[in-house]
A and B are shown apart, each in its own frame.
With several copies, the nearest count.
Chain A
Amino acid sequence: MLTVTNLTSERDDRILFANLNFSLHAGDLLQIEGQNGSGKTTLLRILCGLSSHFSGKIYWQNQDVSQQLPNFLQALLYVGHHAGIKAALTAEENLRWMQRLHPLLNRCTITEALNQVGLYGYEDVPCYALSAGQQRRVSLARLYLSSHPLWILDEPFTAIDKKGVLEKEALIVKHVQQGGMCILTTHHDFDLPKQTIRRINLDQLAHTITSVDTTPSYLVSV
């Protein structure tokens, strides 16, 4: 269970969001919304411990994350803006290395995962010779491999074609239905009933803050 209290982030004197509070339980799917530059990526990176531009507290299983980082990292799968794959290695070699890093990438075999993302026949091609979407698919193959409880995904559908997006959406829904948690950002429409998905809109948050705070803050043009 992930809980966030009073999370505030500012960059270069612009407050992105302030006093953000939420908690995420098993089975929750949380979508961070907001226009470009509203701070979605920043928020996700803060949650993963990849950014120190924040104040506030983050708890994992009711304990401060910084007190039990290894536990938290054990449970976390993060897919960021950058694919995190080596161009010189093949898809298979890349995923094998990911498995070394994350013991919980053990749900199925690598070959199965690659088939699932439609890279059958490309196992042995070095990744630099793959198209933009195919490279992204290699990175997303981790979702099929993962038995992590918590997924944090930043624009996972970038460069993926329509059929691919539908498949990955279904996978994410399945993950939370089986008791996983997922936080993601995406500009794609996620067509799901209200009760399945929760949304936090950072644009609105930015609005509320600018009026309260005393720092000469900046209103993002809408």
Chain B
Amino acid sequence: MNIKMPKWFYQLASPKWSYDIMGMLMPWFGLAALLLLVTGIVWGLMFAPPDYQQGNSYRIIYIHVPSAILAQSCFMLMAVAGIIGMVWKMKVAHIVAKSAAPIGASMTIIALSTGAIWGKPTWGAWWVWDARLTSMLILLFLYLGIIALYSAFSNKASGDQAASILTLVGVVNIPIIKYSVEWWNTLHQPASFTLTKKPAMPPEMWVPLLIMVLGYYCFFAYVLMARTRIELLEREHKSGWVTALLTDTP
């Protein structure tokens, strides 16, 4: 496949160029993440009004929802990076996907555990087999499989491609999972607890939530770039630019 792409796209393929660009962008994202997260947390935990039903326990939403959103976005990102890596043979794309996987898995774990903690007071159970929860759990398994596959190959290039194949198969499957799980649930049993009905939140509640989500994205970008840069150095440690980099800074 030879699809013409703009110049910057091919520049991305150069490890050195990517390394430098990410080095430039990182501080900005770090700063934004810090500002947004601090604002969001302080606002959400201290100033947002308590929920009329759940009291203060609802405040875990400020962690729970952003991590749940990010857990899913991260998988999409990995799939896109996987396609780019496979089609245009772009090493950097694979490295980005690989660096993203553990972050996505952590986000999924955070979403699951905050959800479980929240579930106990609101539902009286740590876990219910609700559609959304179940598909999240499956997402976690997919992440773990992908991470295991990356580490199982001795040739890093092979590991990249293997994991990309699995990611692509997985991403095709995610809508199917979501759909089937939802259908399965409503078919047999009227869900005792629905997450789909949005609590009618006043703006004082959802604005900090939005800030938290944005903060999470910035934080994600920051960590992703940091991890990618480390992985780039590790893989390219033989090449000229890394040697130059290491000798330049005593």
Give the chain A neighbours of B157 by CB distance below 8 A. 52
A53 within 8 A of B: yes
Cα-based distance from A187 to B154 in the complex (angstroms): 29
Report the minimal beta-carbon distance from B216 to chain A, rounded to whole angstroms: 37
Interface size class of A (residues with CB under 8 A): under 10
Residues of chain B within 8 A (CB-CB) of A53 are: 155
Give CA–CA (A52, B160) in the complex, Å. Answer: 13
For B158, list chain A residues within 8 Å (CB): 52
Closest chain A residue to B243 by CB distance?
A: A213
Q: How far is the CA of A129 from the CA of B158 in the complex (A)?
A: 16
The complex places the Cα of A52 from the Cα of B158 at a distance, in Å, of 8
Binary CB contact string for chain A from 113 to 141 against chain B (1 if under 8 A, 0 otherwise): 00000000000000001000000000000
Q: What string of 1s and 0s marks CB contacts (under 8 Å) between A50-72 and chain B?
A: 00110000000000000000000
Provide the bound-state CA to CA distance between A3 and B245, in Å: 36
| Min distance, Cβ A43 to any Cβ of chain B, angstroms | 16
Given the complex, which residues of B lie within 8 Å of A129, measured CB to CB? 154
Q: Considering the complex, which residues of chain B in the window 145-177 have a beta carbon less than 8 Å from any beta carbon of chain A?
A: 154-155, 157-158
Q: How far is the CA of A141 from the CA of B78 in the complex (A)?
A: 48
Interchain nearest-CB distance for B42 vs A (Å):
49
Q: What residues of A have a CB within 8 angstroms of the CB of B155 in the complex?
A: 52-53
B234 to chain A, nearest CB (A): 12
| CA A176 to CA B87, docked complex, whole Å | 41
Considering the complex, give the chain A residue whose CB is closest to the CB of B237.
A13
Measured between beta carbons, the chain A residues less than 8 angstroms from B154 are 129
Contacts from A to B (Cβ < 8 Å): 52-53, 129
Q: List 5 A-B contacts (CB under 8 A).
A: A52-B155, A52-B157, A52-B158, A53-B155, A129-B154
Question: What 5 A-B pairs are tightest by C-beta distance, nearest first?
Answer: A52-B157, A52-B155, A53-B155, A52-B158, A129-B154
